[in-house]
Structure 1
């Protein structure tokens, strides 16, 4: 595991980390860990995704997420799980435009990851930015393998996974899905 220093750690405690980012089109936003206080913004983010983006993210339709799902997605323990959001500062506060997250296996050696970006922010490098930071955090925490289970139809995720070095294979349990896996 990499040695951490307080000035260069990529996974500080939630509430203390904020990373300003400029995307390839010049758009500026902030990446930070999600917090329970982001529940309303997370709900708006999910409900604002297109039907296809929601289906690809949740492998089914989740147009109006339950309170339990929102709690699960925003009340993170940050020991076994990690979740990052990309936000833009608006007049009404932060708007979430992208999310990446992982949850670890019981032994902490593997983690399943996911990423979603609002349709308006796709094709700007945000998914790559979110996943690259999440990969660094997983490596820093000693996780050895990261994987994602996705719809075989999701070309954008397949391209993103390939660009980040993930290997892709068919899901042996479901022909409509693929598994992207990265050795850390």
Structure 2
């Protein structure tokens, strides 16, 4: 399936028209979220989202301790090209304020046939099916963009990621270079 392309205003490059797409999804508990591709103007939402994560969630997401996100890293996260780098955010209104409650992302490896993925859900939004929805959108776009395999490197003790990856059909194996990590792979 081919994706229509448009000119990226900042770079003059052709990118999929994903920037304007969005979906209202109903979660397992009946709550609703808006899922859409991340945009540069989401910088503050992304920063607040990371700040609100528990220490354990940060450790699982970044495979180590992450206290502060550098401005350069934050810029990299919100400035995606929608092809080799992609991210979807899940947004809700929380007491009249727009809040990010989840994000899934991939980044192409060196050969542009494989992409590394990650998903993070706010601690108070877990166990509602949000991670599954975010990953399904990400997997679909990775397939449309011609990737052959998606993978993630995760802490071996991260049971939530183990369960999510298994549910989505990812294979799991120990990282041969680090016994504390596993590699989940999905053939696209």
Deviation at 1:60, TM superposition (A): 1.0
Unaligned runs of 5+ in 2: 6-14
Deviation at 1:140, TM superposition (A): 1.1
- Number of aligned pairs? 179
Deviation at 1:93, TM superposition (A): 4.2
Preserved CA contact (<8 Å) 2:105 2:118: yes
Structure with more strand by fraction: 2
Cα distance change on mapping 1:65 and 1:92 into 2, 3 Å:
farther
Q: Match for 1:18 among 7, 19, 22? A: 22
Deviation at 1:66, TM superposition (A): 1.2
Preserved CA contact (<8 Å) 2:33 2:91: yes
Q: Tell me, yes or no, if structure 1 residue 43 matches structure 2 residue 59.
A: no
What is the correspondence of 1:1-184 to structure 2 with a 5 Å cutoff? 2-4=1-3, 12-90=16-94, 93-184=97-188
Superposition TM-score, scaled by structure 1 size: 0.92
Preserved CA contact (<8 Å) 1:166 1:181: yes
Deviation at 1:5, TM superposition (A): 6.9
Superposition TM-score, scaled by structure 2 size: 0.90
RMSD: 1.7
CA distance in 1, matches of 2:129, 2:24: 14
What do the CA deviations read for 1:64-99 (whole angstroms, capped 9, x no partner)?
A: 211111111111122311000000024554210000
SS of 1:176 mapped into structure 2:
strand
SS of 2:74 mapped into structure 1:
helix
CA distance in 1, matches of 2:88, 2:67: 21
CA distance in 1, matches of 2:115, 2:38: 18
Structure number with the bigger relative contact order (C-alpha 8 A, sep ≥ 6) is: 1
